[in-house]
A = this chain, B = another copy of it.
């Protein structure tokens, strides 16, 4: 199909499609003349992915490009690690990792001594404490239990159909399952509030 067809099929405005092409988020079409190119199903799929990463995942253009660059064939777990480095919140400043390391050690988790997620945890824990919110060991344990439950399900159900499928799942899933979990957390707040409130009257 032509670029106008690609825009029509996906519902993405033509100017936006051209912008993604310029920004390298979308791979070029097959050139059929000096001014014409053809696009196929791979472009439709990639466009849907780009929109999901930007709109639902809330990524910037630069972050989305970083995440998409992890989709090159290679080792799945290595790609997962690279994705974590590319994703916000990117922690570039120096941060004291000792509290986060201690928390992970208390959980008995096997994680690399230096990882983007460990820095993210350190910053997140520090922010909670700085504004005076409680972060007791049993609170951390509840979060850790919930997170591990989710991660086991996610890793165990990784598609085995092809390396490309597994990669897409690992890389894109890191971004796109997050909003599902967060929305459910907020809905669970409403459910728990409703129950506690009903039982106290």
Which of B81, B118, B187 sits near A121, CB closer than 8 Å?
A: B187
A112 touches B190 (CB 8 A): yes
Q: What is the oligomeric copy number?
A: 2
Interface residues in A, total, Cβ within 8 A: 84
A111 touches B142 (CB 8 A): no
Which of B116, B169, B192, B194 sits near A148, CB closer than 8 Å?
A: B192
A131 CA / B193 CA spacing, docked (Å)? 34
Q: Which of A27-77 contact B (CB under 8 A)?
A: 45, 48-49, 52, 55-58, 77
Given contacts A110-B195, A131-B52, contact A124 B189 (CB under 8 A): no
Q: Which residues of A contact B (CB under 8 A)?
A: 45, 48-49, 52, 55-58, 77, 80-81, 84, 88-89, 104, 109-112, 115-118, 120-121, 123-125, 127-128, 130-136, 138-140, 142-157, 159, 168-169, 172-174, 176-197
